[in-house]
């Protein structure tokens, strides 16, 4: 299995789940005010968590392709950083997810296998630079960061009363369910 074969399907299935969670929030009439909800006063709001999950997925793919980030990533970062003042709507957030999913779908078969030992310099906005291998980047940065923002979004939605459960988190697993083994079947 190559690193792109690991991360791209992971991003796709979990961003699809995130969009579904937001669909439930909208269907439960949570209202767009939920986009400003936070777990703690010093944490980013839901709107930021969603955008940063999209950023992590896009950055991970571009980094493994050895390409510079497109302007769309900077736009997502700016939206996320400013979401405290301008959180947008559930529909806006689902649009960002759909855009990221379309990009991932387009790139899915178009990422060359990368040697896991390939050096990657990962620079943060504050100027810190991490020197990693491609394998370390995937294992220690891009997947953990992606899941941090994804799970923070999940926790915010749950804390705001959106009816989510484990089944919503692992919905992709039902494709593998052996017939006749579900409870009550």
Give pTM, 2 decimals.
Answer: 0.92
pLDDT at 29: 82
Q: Measure the CA–CA gap between 159 and 147, rounded to whole angstroms.
A: 18
The residue among 9, 102, 86, 3 whose CA lies nearest residue 48 is 86
Q: What is the pLDDT of residue 110?
A: 79
Q: Does the domain spanning 3-176 belong to CATH 3.40.50.300?
A: no
pLDDT at residue number 123: 87
Quick check: 57 and 15 in contact, CB under 8 A?
Answer: yes
**Looking at residue 96, what is its pLDDT?**
97
Question: pLDDT tens per residue, the chain (185 residues)?
Answer: 888 889 999 999 999 999 999 999 999 987 899 999 999 999 999 999 999 999 999 999 999 888 899 999 999 999 999 988 999 999 999 999 999 999 999 988 778 888 999 999 988 888 899 999 999 999 999 999 999 999 999 999 999 999 999 999 998 898 899 999 988 77
HEC per residue, 86-151: CCCCHHHHHHHHHHHHHHHHHHHHHCCCCCCCCEEEEECCCCCEEEEEHHHHHHHHHHHHHHHHHH
């Amino acid at each position: 299995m190559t690193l792109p074969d690991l991360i791209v399907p992971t991003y796709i299935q979990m961003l699809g789940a995130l969009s579904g969670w937001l669909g439930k929030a909208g269907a439960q009439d949570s209202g767009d005010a939920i986009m400003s909800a936070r777990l703690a006063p010093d944490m980013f709001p839901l709107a930021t968590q969603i955008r940063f999950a999209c950023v992590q997925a896009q950055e991970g793919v571009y980094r493994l392709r050895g390409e510079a980030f497109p302007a769309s990533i900077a736009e997502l970062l700016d939206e996320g950083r400013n979401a405290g003042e301008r959180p947008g709507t559930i529909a806006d957030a689902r649009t960002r997810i759909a855009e990221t999913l379309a990009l991932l779908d387009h790139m899915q078969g178009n990422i060359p296998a990368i040697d896991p030992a390939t050096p990657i310099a990962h620079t943060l906005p504050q100027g810190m630079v991490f020197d990693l291998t491609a394998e370390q980047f995937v294992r220690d940065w891009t997947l953990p960061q992606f899941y941090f923002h994804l799970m923070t979004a999940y926790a915010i939605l749950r804390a705001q009363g959106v009816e989510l459960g484990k089944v919503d988190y692992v919905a992709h697993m039902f494709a593998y369910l052996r017939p006749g083994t579900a409870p009550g079947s």
